[in-house]
Chain A
Amino acid sequence: EVQLVESGGGLVQPGRSMKLSCAASGFTFSNYGMAWVRQAPTKGLEWVATISYDGSSTYYRDSVKGRFTISRDNAKSTLYLQMNSLRSEDTATYYCTRDTRLGVPFAYWGQGTLVTVSS
């Protein structure tokens, strides 16, 4: 069974940093592209970043480019999101997601971790 378990969320002040982790199990992590999707309170879904199966390619939405870094450790079956210079508009539940074998994004979702950016 595919399992994605996010951690690392919490309350952080504007301008500070936070690193999210996503522990994957139930599949061969190194075979799949992964992504982060966020959802602000009472709002819809917003794609944040994607990383290829081997980490060689990464993609970001414009609003986080230069501030967020997606990475992965295939030996540890873990996905990361390093978030710097956090803003109030980054407040959201962050979901870790996995592609299908054929590259369809967001096939599997974790339970999410809430990041609140506030002073």
Chain B
Amino acid sequence: DVVMTQTPVSLSVSLGGQVSISCRSSQSLVHNNGNTYLSWYLQKPGQSPQLLIYKVSNRFSGISDRFSGSGSGTDFTLKISRVEPDDLGVYYCGQGTQYPYTFGAGTKLELK
């Protein structure tokens, strides 16, 4: 199974600040078709997860350009700029390249 390792476990940020979350996979996430199925999700308190970023760097429908994804192979990063109160919650990376699909353990974003 592909192990997804997220760091840090938690982050404290001031409103308007910028943060980065790292996600590393135990194997390359490049699919046979050439795509890299690495996604980022946000689960706000008491809500279902929502897709933010797919295939490393593509923002999903309706997602602010304050969210950006980058990386390749086994090393990926989510950056959030100008943090707003609605950005708080737990962020997960996930891979959809190889079964079983797997997720990172999550990074909790809190206000400083």
Contact = CB atoms under 8 A, between A and B. Distances in A.
Contact of B49 (A59, A62, A104, A109): A109
Interface in B45-60: 48-51, 54-55, 60
A50 B101 contact: yes
A46 B37 contact: no
A104 B92 contact: no
Interface residues of B, number: 22
A102 B82 CA distance: 31
Interface string A46-60: 110010000000010
Contact of B94 (A45, A62, A110): A45
A106 interface: yes
B48 A47 contact: no
B47 to A, nearest CB: 8
Interface residues of A, number: 21
Interface string B69-108: 0000000000000000000000010101001111111100
Nearest 4 CB-CB pairings of A with B: A47-B101, A105-B96, A109-B48, A45-B103
24 contacts: A44-B103, A44-B104, A44-B106, A45-B49, A45-B92, A45-B103, A45-B106, A46-B103, A47-B100, A47-B101, A47-B102, A50-B101, A59-B100, A61-B100, A100-B54, A104-B37, A104-B55, A104-B96, A106-B41, A107-B51, A107-B54, A109-B49, A109-B50, A109-B51
Given A104-B37, A104-B39, A112-B48, 10 more contacts: A44-B104, A45-B92, A46-B103, A50-B101, A62-B100, A100-B54, A105-B37, A105-B96, A106-B51, A109-B48
Interface of B: 37, 39, 41, 43, 48-51, 54-55, 60, 92, 94, 96, 99-106
